[in-house]
Amino acid sequence: MLDSRDLLQLTGKTAAVFGVANERSIAWAIAKALSGAGANIAFSCESERVLDKVTALAKGLGGTNTVQVCDVANEQHTHEFFKPVEKNFRGLDFLIHSIAFAPRETFGKPFYQTTKEEFFQTLNISAYSLIELTRKALPLMREGGSIVTLTYLAGERAIHNYNVMGTAKAALEQIVRQLSLELGDKGIRINAISQGPTQTLAARGITGFVDMKEFHEKTAPLGGSSAEDAAGVALFLCSGLSRHVTGEVLHNDGGFSILGMQLPKTNKA
Q: What are the residue numbers of the active site?
A: 152, 162
Rounded least distance, CB 2 to ligand NAD, Å: 30
Judged by beta carbon, residue 134 or residue 151, the one nearer ligand NAD is 151
The span from the first CA to the last CA of the chain, in angstroms, equals 39
Q: From residue 67, give the alpha-carbon distance in Å to each of 21, 54, 60, 189.
A: 12, 7, 13, 25
Mutual angle of helices 163-183 and 116-123, in 10-degree steps? 40
How many CB atoms lie under 10 A from the CB of residue 103? Answer: 14
Rounded least distance, CB 10 to ligand NAD, Å: 21
What is the binding site for ligand NAD (CB under 6 A)? 19-21, 25-27, 46, 71-73, 98-101, 125, 150-152, 195, 197-198, 200-203
Q: Is 57 left (phi over 0), alpha (psi -120 to 50) or beta?
A: alpha
CB 237 within 8 A of CB 181: no
Rounded least distance, CB 179 to ligand NAD, Å: 16
Among 132, 147, 116, 25, which Cα is nearest to 71's? 132
